[in-house]
Chain A
Amino acid sequence: MLRVKNGDDDAFSTLVRTYQDRLVSIFTNMVGDQESAEDLAQEVFLRVYRARNGYEPTAKFSTWVFRIANNLASNTRRTKGRRKEVQLRPADSGSVSQVSGEQMLPEKSALMPTRQAARTELQQRVWDAMSELNERQRMAILLHRFEDMSYADIGAAMELSTEAVKSLLSRARENLRVSLENYVQR
């Protein structure tokens, strides 16, 4: 990032490639369709680029990036209101169906049709369970599961105390446990 600050656009390109899939994945799971997720991910990078002159390496760069992502996701939700909540359900969203069909099953050709159907149903149920969480719980879960971030880093990204993250994740995982109880016991 310090190279980006000094005007090195190749460094910025490298930085984008490092984080692009991670951000698009998180936003896809936050907002429900890949196209919006790509737009949001690009907006994160544009904000990083705009803020490069004032960047000071006081915290982890990844934490800073995911803080911007979290703020952006929150602003998007506030702007779009309940319309976005409806989009979270894959049954209502063509884009998510596309994600589910093509990218959630990279090894689908190796599965028997019945197992494939069961897998698709499970993925749908996991998606539904995630969409039932509130936005903060969902973001905390994604940062922890996808990014392997510690509670302290999640707290820094979401501007919460470590204790609040602990509580948030505990409630989120308990909600998921209840939602997915039948699938866990299989």
Chain B
Amino acid sequence: MSQFHRISVTDRSNFAAYLDGELVDDETRRIEGVLAENAVARTDLEQLSRTYELLDELPRVNAPKDFAAETVKTARLAEQTTDFTQTRWYRTSVEALRLSGWTLGLVVAACLGYAVTSRWVPRPSDPLVDELPLIDNLDKYQEIHDFEFLQRMAGSAILMERIRSEAANE
């Protein structure tokens, strides 16, 4: 790489992290390679470093001497006057309310589920109930076989005579 070789955008964006020791080993080696062969990169890095040192000129401000005492006093006072959310009874109540809500929700969901399934979802026994009259007479229907047999029986004079006489006897 010549010293006039342009520094890539990625390399430049890694300069700050290189100065901070925040690059992984591969990236560090790459930046060190660029710096070793590129004077422009070295100048840029030096400028970046010196700029950062200028931030020492920013104000470092101390809090007033009574800051801690006032803060502790304010915290205690605030707790006594307004912050009931940190009290044990409040947190217990919230927890109980949350549990009650969940329980109520579960009960409602169970009732709804039962109502829906019992009304709209068919049960395996439903066809048996619907066909009960047929099932009760199934033996008779099986003895009859079919309609042609009934018609032949109706055409038999002996059979009809016998049926009439049995009916008269009864």
Contacts and interface: CB of A to CB of B under 8 A. Distances in A.
Is chain B a partner of chain A in the same complex?
yes
Interface of A: 9, 12-13, 16-17, 20-21, 23-25, 28-29, 34, 37-38, 41-42, 45-46, 49-50, 53, 99-100, 103-104, 119, 122-123, 126-127, 130, 141, 144-146, 150-151, 166-167, 169-170, 173-174, 176-177, 180-181, 183-185
Interface string B21-52: 01000000000000000000000000110111
A41 B51 contact: no
B61 A177 contact: no
Contact of A151 (B20, B55, B60): B20
Contacts, number: 129
A25 B59 contact: yes
B55 A170 contact: no
Contact of A99 (B20, B59, B75, B86): B59
Interface in B1-24: 12-17, 20, 22
B111 to A, nearest CB: 35
Interface of B: 12-17, 20, 22, 47-48, 50-52, 54-55, 57-64, 67-72, 74-76, 78-79, 83, 85-86, 91
A153 B57 CA distance: 24
Contacts of A141: 55
Nearest to A126: B57
Contacts of B14: 170
Given A170-B17, A184-B47, A24 B61 contact: yes
Contact of B51 (A49, A100, A151, A184): A184
A169 B61 contact: no
